[in-house]
Structure 1
Amino acid sequence: MKRGTRAFLCAGVAALAISASARAQQAPDAGSPTAAPADSADMLAEIVVTAQKRTERLIDVPQSVSAVSAEALQQAHADRLDDFFTRVPSAALVETQAGQARLILRGINTGGVGATVATYVDETPYGSATSLANGAILTPDLDPSDLERVEVLRGPQGTLYGANSLGGLVKYVTVAPSTDAVHAAAELSTEDVAHGDTGWSGRASVNVPLADTLAVRASGFYRRDPGFVDDQHEKDINDGRTYGGRVSALFKPTDALSLRASVVLQNLDSNGTNQVDVDPVTLRPALGNYMQARVVDQPSDMQYRVYNLTGSYDFGPVQLLSSTSYSSLYQNALEDASGLYGGLLTGAFGVPLGASQVQQVQQRRLTEEVRLASTDTGWLEWTVGGFYTRERNAINQIIDGVDGASGAHIADFSGLALANLASRYEEYAGFASGTVHLNDQLDLTFGGRYSHNEQDAVQISSGPLAGDSDYTAHSSDGVFTYSVAPSFKPNEDTTIYVRVAKGYRPGGPNVLPPGAPDAVPHQFGADTTTNYEIGVKSELLNRKLSLELTGFYIDWDNIQLFSSVDDYGVNINGGTARSQGVEASVTMRPLTGLTVSLNGAFVDATLTSDAPPLVGGLKGDRLPYTARFSSTLAVEYQRPLSETVDGIAGFSWRYTGDRLSAFDTSYGQRHLSAYSQVDAHAGVTFGGYRIDAFVRNLTDSRGILDVGAAGSALDGNVTAAIVRPRSFGATLGYRF
């Protein structure tokens, strides 16, 4: 038996380690329910989600969904996306720097610049839908201070959520303002990282009813992330800070009408990457365990904003909902490109030179969605809607020659290459979904969506290395997606379902000069996934035991890839792939206050035809950065220590199996070893106070998350992004 298989079986194929611990109640806008406790301390909490854009019990949803509650986030000290996302079955995260992460669900990943996992903040789709604006790696990492929960929908979600949901969807659900009373909370934490320095964070929130019909909720946070990577000039170069907040207002003048406005702001400033330099073949540290060598520093500053107005009106038999959103993202990043261009520039100009590459990204997106949904629970529940989105995106890149020793800019070698890519994306879509209750036990859930988009792009380049050019491109395409899911409920606490669903990622134009070779494609098409899934969900022993088992098979066609054709960097379509596997989970409450959760996944994701030669990858090769085996074990125990003091303690163990890196024509796919992470915490609550101590990565595991291509580091080495080392911390919180 292989080592990875033994570890997986020892963990037990099982449950969502961070399943929600709050029961949600119906909310007028079907997007921000509030929490209620379980029926008794001996029972698991009932989980309610809005995965199908209506509020329903998780156990009744005929698809694979994980819900991470605010309480679970708080208990696990989950401040960052990687603290909880990798605990979800069949999920993976490839992160090199704060705010630059690629989300992967069920293995649907071949690199490239278009996202395969969609992201929503309440009713707002976030990020770019086009493959022309780095949407694959610019992922929002919202602070959990004012979240109700996070829902992760696995498998294609094209019917209700549209573009880029090839592999699934991450949906952040924020806390809604409440008119019931004044609520406030505050928290202060500190954290010390091995091999690095010390960081701290603070967050606070307040809910204020201004009248019986009006309430406002505001929150803010600041977090200084400690660094742990050194270079030849400075220690802990990858430190940074993240800060922002949210303001939301709810106006409910009548029982039928509800208006909710919200603003989310977050800034991520990082002074360096989480990468170390390694040997390109062995992946062993080339300079030291936490060392990199760079000619220039690599800071990255990101700002994202989400503005939304959601209104709903209950007409009795139907409810109308309108959601208007505007979101923006700005990134200014500096990358050391000396490994790629330093030798070329030194040879061309006869002086020792390095190279810096500045990248500035701007995304602006307006979205409108209108839905009409039935409100009764008769034989048919239905939703119909229309969707419109418009994007304006721009990527500016500048390559400068710098002093090869000090990294200082040299005026004579500034602006060696300048490129600006401006693009516009506009999409219209109509969708419908419904559930037919054929009898008390048998349901049929179905849906369809047609989406059509138009895209324009303009690229301007200049400088001695890029040449002077100015050219445009246009594309247009449409796609139909669907889902069908019959389900059978032998009793109120068990659902057995089968689901077939399709997801897509839009195609787009390649910006090429007149006279480009015929071999270079002027347009790339949409790629699609078709998912076949069977699952069972059940709550047993008077809701002391929850079980879920899912099997899936996904066909991926017309895969979008980024490549170089006749020296032109373009998006292309090539090859097919399939992903198949099993996800399983179990959560149990054997004793009062004790919750044990396990989850596990087996994912076999491979190419089913050769990728284009310039990309690399042959039929049978595994898709990048997806472990065949992964699992999580979590234990939480809470009990009274006195009449006024409660104690709480817990730990989690995450296992990530071996993976292969991205397709690489220079070195091929590199093997990344399996690794584990152990987190633990313990504390007390009394009155409104909470005091906790915690440790992350207790064993100081050094897992590799990402491997760079040839030229990503100096002296023939390559970069490797690694997990955060062991850290210890403490938290003091108060709420009323």
Structure 2
Amino acid sequence: MNSCSRQGPRRAARPVTLAPTASAALIAIGLLASGAAAFAQSEPAPADKDAKKDLQTLDRVEVTSGKRRQMQSDVAGTVTAISGADIESHGSADIEDLLKLTPGVQYNKGTADGSLISIRGVGTNSNGAAQGFTQSPTGIYIEDVPFTDPFAFVSTPDLAPFDLERVEVLRGPQGALYGSSSLGGAIRYILKKPSTSLTEGSVMAGISSTADGGTGWSTAAMVNIPIAMSTGKAGLRLVLNSRKDAGFIDNLGTGVKDANVIRVDGGRLLFTYALGDDFDATATYLRQHSKQADGPGISPFDYTTGTGYTKNPDQLKLQVRTAVPMAYDSTFDLATVQANLKLGDFRLTSLTGRQTKSRGAREDFSRDFYDPSAPGDKWTSDTFYDSTSTSQEFRLAPVTPGRVNWLVGAFWMSADVKRDQLVYHEPRAAVADLRFRRNGTATEKAAFADAEIKITDRLSADIGARYYKTQLSYDRIVGNTDADATSTPYASGDSGTTPKVSLRYVIDPSMSVYALASRGYRFGGISNLGSSPQGLPYKSDSLWNYEAGWRWSPSKTASLDVSVFRIDWKDVQLSELYVDPVTTRSFLVTGNVGKARSQGLELAAAWRPFSQFSLKGTFAYTDAVTSGGISIGGTGIPDGTRLPGTAKVQGTLDASTNFEGPWDSSARVSALLAYTGQRKAQIDSDLSLPAYTTLDLRATFSWNSVEFSAFVNNLSNSRGLSSAVDYFTTYTEFYPIRPRSIGVSLRYDY
């Protein structure tokens, strides 16, 4: 949310729920199933019955969420692993596409690299603009390096998914192994490593058209080169990607049609060196740049007349009216070196990471500063965010698994974050009318340990804990120029322990159950103003997650995972607008307030009745509400208020069928039906986002090294809303999902 806005009346609005229809989607999936059955009946019987059985077997996925290699089905906890093959088969372009496949996870859309992700309802905002100076509740990790800002939200990197090994989504707090940035859960990007023996490459290009919008395109390329060396083996892997997402929002104020165009360019270079089984190291450098032009959201408010304010989604069009063009520019890069050294019967792992993030936002403040006595006045805000972080982790673990598989480790991280906001009245003068600067350094030190103990052949326990110490030093700089600036320093710190314990029991080879208790925490900090009581330091908030699960694989062609959980969250960090009684400006302030709880059910099922057809489904019920006296800035929030950004009900149905296509091709047709229930947009607002349903269809035809795909996403052109920010003093901004998009792509592998 903007740091600065003019005081105005709070406007009430009735919550609106749209009843989505999914009949077309169900018919499409039914046709897939019947088509697959027909292909199965006409398929010649293979000579070897076991060969056919193997084709029907569901894929077994290996994960490293516990910082050791395990089969996904053996983890005592809820981990969804989306393989690189699944990412490619669904044509995923960004993290929004990926998270559709995961129950209990809500992607709350914002500007480029400005979105928020909520897991199991843990969150107090649905949009990065309202996150303020608190750490995001969901951790983002690339190659196990934390990418979530410790304070003063900069961005949520959305790494291009081309040529990924897999993405792991860990639901529930991961404080024992991953630290502060995983209060509600974590998302891990695992990059595909260089091959030291195989020369290979891929090129891909696609084009798409968006309903009520323009044309977009995407390109990507990968090359892997083994390197001959006199000792050891080495490999180099280069990945490049570029895409343009078509705009579909018209800006009536600037006269720009299809204004919200997004351009993403990036690449990564990986180098691996291995000296037998005793030593290996991988160095990685990646960089990604995203630009979003104008119109990031929709709002009918007219800054020239003060009319058009609404919270009713039924009255929305894909239009916005701003006085000046808006623009967002985000860049992040990461350099890592991971080395593994065998020391007798043990392996020592060192992971060094350095990352930078920068983000610029030019936003129209004419709506924020709307003054009935001066309608049509133009205001602009330029905000610059920068962060630099360095981290180091060491782990020691046995090489050969035994009845006790353990690891111990140490972690250190230091992050410098700067935020500078300048507000101008148009036509702008050389010096900003208002300026707000916040600079800080955050450090985290931790020691952790984890042990998986095989008590009997069927019963195992996992016990882990992390001791942490966090510190934050922070300057609030007041003054429009360096000459008249005054700096006020603040400091805060926290320490504590985040334990985890689980039990897993194998009933028989097809069935197991587990129970888990784990704790998570988040950085404390200093509020935006720095004047009592609103500027007092706020401490770390923490939560306990209690979970039980049941896994059943009645055959190699079917699986069912069911988990239930309860989360108890205390000292909840909440950011809310506070109106300064002297200046009448409003600011985001943060404090520890009250309690909250979240409880629910998550389900994931897969079935491959015959080799050509597979069906997967997910379902999540999440009841996340306040449970104890939440209030800040004098505004009370009643017990039982739903936490924002998470639907009470979510679900997906994913069907695919393979068959012999035309012109000697191998063909695949898939359908993904996704339902997102009603959500609350903001904890301190009555704004409600309606439920919506989308259906994505994709057909792929392959000939040896060539692959052609055609797709339509959001077939019914659902006008769903991903998130919203309620600037209740003036206006509300909504972030719609992408309208129906139709496109094709061509890929060549060698």
State the match for 2:98 in structure 1: 84
State the match for 1:718 in structure 2: 732
Displacement of 1:458 in angstroms is 1.1
Letter in 2 for 1:658: Q
CA distance in 2, matches of 1:489, 1:280: 58
State the match for 1:495 in structure 2: 512
Displacement of 1:145 in angstroms is 1.1
Alpha-carbon deviations, 1:693-714, whole Å to 9, x = none? 00110000011122222368xx
Displacement of 1:644 in angstroms is 4.8
CA distance in 2, matches of 1:351, 1:292: 17
CA distance in 1, matches of 2:285, 2:400: 32
CA distance in 1, matches of 2:462, 2:375: 67
Residue number among 542, 554, 559 corresponding to 2:567 in the alignment: 554
Secondary structure of 2:176's aligned partner: helix
State the match for 2:294 in structure 1: 272
The 1:658/1:335 distance shift into structure 2, 3 A limit, reads same
Residue number among 205, 226, 236 corresponding to 2:222 in the alignment: 205
State the match for 1:394 in structure 2: 418
CA distance in 1, matches of 2:111, 2:449: 39
Letter in 1 for 2:629: D
Q: Does the 8 A contact of 1:118 with 1:170 survive in 2?
A: yes
State the match for 2:428 in structure 1: 410
Displacement of 1:481 in angstroms is 0.2
Secondary structure of 2:520's aligned partner: strand
State the match for 1:15 in structure 2: none
CA distance in 2, matches of 1:239, 1:561: 32
Q: How does 1:123-522 map to 2 (within 5 A)?
A: 123-129=144-150, 131=151, 133-135=152-154, 138-211=155-228, 213-232=233-252, 233-278=255-300, 281-284=310-313, 289-343=317-371, 352-402=376-426, 409-411=427-429, 414-463=431-480, 469-510=486-527, 516-517=531-532, 519-522=533-536
The 1:351/1:62 distance shift into structure 2, 3 A limit, reads closer
Q: Does the 8 A contact of 1:473 with 1:510 survive in 2?
A: no
Letter in 2 for 1:660: K
Displacement of 1:322 in angstroms is 0.2
Secondary structure of 2:73's aligned partner: helix
- What TM-score does the superposition give when structure 1 sets the normalisation length? 0.89
Displacement of 1:616 in angstroms is 4.8
State the match for 2:705 in structure 1: 688
Is 2:591 the partner of 1:572? yes
Displacement of 1:506 in angstroms is 1.3
Q: Does the 8 A contact of 1:276 with 1:285 survive in 2?
A: no
CA distance in 2, matches of 1:551, 1:731: 40
Secondary structure of 1:549's aligned partner: strand
CA distance in 1, matches of 2:122, 2:178: 17
CA distance in 1, matches of 2:578, 2:52: 58
Displacement of 1:467 in angstroms is 8.8
State the match for 1:29 in structure 2: none
Q: Does the 8 A contact of 1:471 with 1:512 survive in 2?
A: no
Displacement of 1:497 in angstroms is 0.3
Deviates more, 1:182-191 or 1:716-725: 716-725
The 1:570/1:126 distance shift into structure 2, 3 A limit, reads same
> Hey, which bits of structure 1, 4+ residues long, moved more than 6 A?
2-8
Alpha-carbon deviations, 1:352-398, whole Å to 9, x = none? 52211111000110000000012222210001000000001100100
Secondary structure of 2:99's aligned partner: helix
The 1:379/1:309 distance shift into structure 2, 3 A limit, reads same
Displacement of 1:240 in angstroms is 2.1
The 1:469/1:717 distance shift into structure 2, 3 A limit, reads same
Secondary structure of 1:82's aligned partner: helix
Secondary structure of 1:252's aligned partner: strand
State the match for 2:639 in structure 1: 619
Letter in 2 for 1:393: V
Residue number among 539, 548, 566 corresponding to 1:534 in the alignment: 548
Q: Does the 8 A contact of 2:121 with 2:622 survive in 1?
A: yes
Q: Does the 8 A contact of 1:471 with 1:511 survive in 2?
A: no
CA distance in 1, matches of 2:475, 2:687: 36
Displacement of 1:639 in angstroms is 2.2
Displacement of 1:643 in angstroms is 9.6
Secondary structure of 1:725's aligned partner: coil
Secondary structure of 1:73's aligned partner: helix
Query: Percent same amino acid at aligned positions?
Result: 27
Alpha-carbon deviations, 1:263-318, whole Å to 9, x = none? 011000110244111465552465x6211100111110110001000000123421
State the match for 1:588 in structure 2: 607
The 1:625/1:511 distance shift into structure 2, 3 A limit, reads closer
Letter in 2 for 1:586: A
Is 2:87 the partner of 1:73? yes
Letter in 1 for 2:471: E
Alpha-carbon deviations, 1:562-618, whole Å to 9, x = none? 235673643210010000000011101011121100110100000001321535521
Is 2:655 the partner of 1:635? yes
Displacement of 1:76 in angstroms is 1.1
Residue number among 663, 677, 691 corresponding to 1:657 in the alignment: 677
CA distance in 2, matches of 1:169, 1:159: 12
- What TM-score does the superposition give when structure 2 sets the normalisation length? 0.87
Residue number among 606, 609, 633 corresponding to 2:625 in the alignment: 606
Secondary structure of 2:96's aligned partner: helix
Secondary structure of 1:320's aligned partner: strand
CA distance in 2, matches of 1:560, 1:219: 39
Q: Does the 8 A contact of 2:225 with 2:237 survive in 1?
A: yes
The 1:588/1:280 distance shift into structure 2, 3 A limit, reads farther
How many residues align? The count is 682
State the match for 1:116 in structure 2: 137
Alpha-carbon deviations, 1:13-47, whole Å to 9, x = none? xxxxxxxxxxxxxxxxxxxxxxxx99921111111
Q: Does the 8 A contact of 2:534 with 2:590 survive in 1?
A: no
Q: Does the 8 A contact of 1:616 with 1:663 survive in 2?
A: no
Deviates more, 1:350-359 or 1:44-53: 350-359
Deviates more, 1:550-559 or 1:203-212: 203-212
Q: How does 1:5-84 map to 2 (within 5 A)?
A: 40-84=54-98
Displacement of 1:84 in angstroms is 1.8
Q: Does the 8 A contact of 2:391 with 2:413 survive in 1?
A: yes
Deviates more, 1:109-118 or 1:639-648: 639-648
Secondary structure of 1:411's aligned partner: coil
CA distance in 2, matches of 1:266, 1:115: 21
Q: Does the 8 A contact of 2:699 with 2:711 survive in 1?
A: yes
CA distance in 1, matches of 2:21, 2:743: 32
Q: CA RMSD in A?
A: 2.4
CA distance in 2, matches of 1:191, 1:6: 25
Secondary structure of 2:603's aligned partner: strand
CA distance in 2, matches of 1:621, 1:504: 22
Deviates more, 1:332-341 or 1:549-558: 332-341
Secondary structure of 1:144's aligned partner: coil
Displacement of 1:660 in angstroms is 1.4
CA distance in 2, matches of 1:276, 1:521: 32
Displacement of 1:454 in angstroms is 1.6
> Any unmatched runs of 5+ in structure 1?
12-36, 403-408
Displacement of 1:476 in angstroms is 1.6
Letter in 1 for 2:146: P
State the match for 2:665 in structure 1: 645
CA distance in 1, matches of 2:193, 2:714: 33
